[in-house]
Amino acid sequence: MDHKLVIVESPAKAKTIQKYLGAGYRVMASMGHVRDLPKSKIGIDIDNDFSPVYEISEGKDKLIAELKREIKTADAIYLATDHDREGEAIAWHILQAANIGKRKPVYRITFNEITKDSIQHAIRNPREIDANLVDAQQARRVLDRLVGYKISPILWAKVRRGLSAGRVQSVAVRMVVEREREIESFVPKEYWTIEADLSPAGLKKLGKHDIFRAILHARNGKKLDKFAIPSKDAADAVLAALEGANYLVGTVTRKDKRRSPAPPFITSTLQQEASRKLGFSSKRTMQVAQKLYEGVDIGGKDGTVGLITYMRTDSTNVSVDAQTEARTLITELYGKEYVPAKPNIYKTKAKGAQEAHEAIRPTSVVRRPDQLKTALGRDEFRLYDLIWKRFMASQMAAAIFDSTSVDIGAGAGIKTAAGAPFTFRATGSVLKFNGFLAVYNVSLDEGDEDEDKEALLPPLNEGQALDLHDLFGEQHFTTPPPRYTEATLVKQMESEGIGRPSTYAPTISTIVAREYVELVEKKLMPTTLGRVVTDLLVEHFKDIVDYNFTSDMEQRLDDIAEGQRRWVPVLREFYDPFAVRLHAAETEMRNVKREEIKTELPCPQCGTHLVIKWGRNGEFLACSRYPECSWTGDLERDGDGGIHIASQPEIFGNTNCPECDNPMSLKKGRFGPFLACNNYPTCKGIRKVRAQGKDFVVIPPPKPTEEKCPKCNRPMVQKEGKFGPFLSCTGYPECRSIVRLTPNDAPTCPQCGEGKVVAKRARGGRTFFSCTRYPDCTYASNALPVAVSEEVA
């Protein structure tokens, strides 16, 4: 029997595909990338056309050896990695790492969804590896390595070790920094509106919707702009002029307003809506979508099946079969009037979109979310439900609103609305046909207005008199732009052409992990570190963080993928001026001292102002008079970005220095928090602590015992561990013997003679020893009377 080997990235994907191919096929997972540039060096021969020096990824040696064994016995090899540039590159790297050569037929297969028909169609229609896609991904990887490895050392020298710069991540940080500065520099501008509560004249009893609100729209026939009434005095003057005015209905305009459904999801819009509706981070959204794509066991005859199409896409295209299936189900569930006369087709707006791909949709809308609820985890169900509803809505008829606009003439003694000195306007919108809204409505970002928000107006006719119930001026102030959320940052990156579907989630995760940006109440705020790094890059590497330059580079990479450019000339065009700028920056910054930020906070020790510095454990406050004054402390920020000295947690236990008996302060070290003597560096005494909620418990120093080590016969000491007290050999680290104290071998209670003495923890975190017969026996002690135990290590 023929033996064909199919190689994919993940075990979940392999399991699903194996089921569809059956006997004669062996499906293996590469577990992602099998080769990459080395971590310890740049790995690029710049002088030799940027030739990359790849090495087998860490931990992949055994996998490559297993692949080679399988390849030897296989009659044909199918590389079935994801159908984007990265998937193409992974397929090529597998080919190179396994050294397949031309000994066996090798085919590249791609599919948009992991279903039986799609997989079998791919097997019947293989192709060769697309060298253009590989080159585009290779160019991106080399480009990012050049930027990161060349600029990062400058950040290490001038800010903090361990920092990184990135072609996309640094631009994303700049966006967040510039938005925050825009908010900080924003000056609110005052403006007023004149508003009137009116109702049809002569009504003896007012109904729920008879009183409506109208806003002054024009004066003497001239439309008022937003700032036409700039102050209270101006508003009072208008109100005075309207004293005793009549109100008459002028023009009444009624029309149907259609609202079309949103297109099916692409990567960016999926991340945005999952953030708004589900509270998911971009990373979490993609992790859950990956599971839905690769296959979930839904039981029954289907078993494991891929539930959605490929989730890294920037195309809104939908297959004809998927549209037909959706239209059939819409008719069945909602009726014929919910199906548009022609299928809805959407034009992709993303720059450089790959039109050959499909939008994110269910592999079959017949699998309704409510039917899968018991088979899916909570996150998987909620995201699948969102994707299913969005896709179904995208294929449905538009919603129709009955929209009414009424102009109202106002003025003293007027007989008709025409020519009145003041014109008020009232608008109403009532849902007439819900259409796609029967299934799904798009969420709004902060600051967006819902144009279709329903507001009812009573029946009104031209010339009709109105009664005035209230007339008042309403004060307003312009507001600053809102801080970015993950959703709106992805939206802005897509709008600027920065990054691609596969990079949005990892970019945001990276800038948060690098502490350039932090999430405060789900809003992205730049840290001081993010501001400093951004300013440094803008000053010395303006092109790297320039929006247009970054977008243009993305387009060049797209051109490489489409075979319109060659990757080496593109990199050369970038690198030659970049190398000149790099040399100039290194020269300019050679004598510049390490970055620090002055604050207005006084030093608790000497009163001089504090500065923000960065160490390997993050940002901290330090006295500007260092080394004369060595005070340092943690900082904390409030919701508005204000900086304060962090409040010290409570420390339970003796906090005096074991060396000189002076007070100690809590510090952050490489291995976590600890207490350090306030006389440092004169005294280097420390005490270990253990976190207990937001506070800390001092770990007592080892206590001598009369016990001998069961391995080397050295004396043993009693220590406090995460799970209570234990005995440790004094010969550590040469001898690592420890002894756990357990109830079975614990000493007999000296008070009652029946129970055992075991360790317990008091409310404040202090460890003490008491009898197991408590409350019948009330024995308690700070020390263990006898140490009889078992060897555990």
Q: Is 260 exposed, middle or buried (0-12, 13-18, 19+ CB in 10 A)?
A: middle
Q: What whole-number distance in Å separates Cα of residue 17 and Cα of residue 36?
A: 26
Buried-exposed string 542-555: b where 16+ CB fall within 10 A, e elsewhere: eebbebeebbebbe
The residues near 430 (Cβ < 8 Å, ≥ 6 apart) are 401, 402, 404, 454, 456
- The first and second tokens of residue 100, run together, are 């397949």
CA distances from 162 to 165, 514, 616 (A): 10, 9, 7
Reported as type and span, the H/E element at residue 530 is: helix 528-540
Provide the 10 A C-beta neighbour count for residue 433.
Answer: 16
The residues near 446 (Cβ < 8 Å, ≥ 6 apart) are 482, 485, 488
CA distances from 433 to 391, 502, 557, 700 (A): 19, 38, 45, 72
**Of 20, 310, 504, 516, which one is the catalytic site residue?**
310
Does the active-site annotation cover 310?
A: yes
Residue type at position 24: G
Q: What whole-number distance in Å separates Cα of residue 29 and Cα of residue 11?
A: 5
What's the count of helices (H) and strands (E) in the chain, helices before strands? 17, 38
Q: What angle do CA 776, 782, 785 make, to 5 degrees?
A: 75
Pairing label, strands 4-8, 76-79: parallel
In 582-663, the DSSP E strands lie at 597-602, 609-615, 618-623, 632-633, 635-637, 643-645, 651-652
Please tell me what DSSP assigns to residue 350. Answer: S
- The first and second tokens of residue 96, run together, are 């190179």
Closest CA to 398 of 255, 270, 257, 253: 257
Confirm if 176 and 515 have CB atoms less than 8 A apart: no
Residue recorded with tokens 């269910």: 362
- The first and second tokens of residue 318, run together, are 């939908």
Q: What whole-number distance in Å separates Cα of residue 423 and Cα of residue 221?
A: 8
Pairing label, strands 190-200, 212-219: antiparallel
Q: What whole-number distance in Å separates Cα of residue 41 and Cα of residue 431?
A: 63
- Active site (catalytic) residues: 310
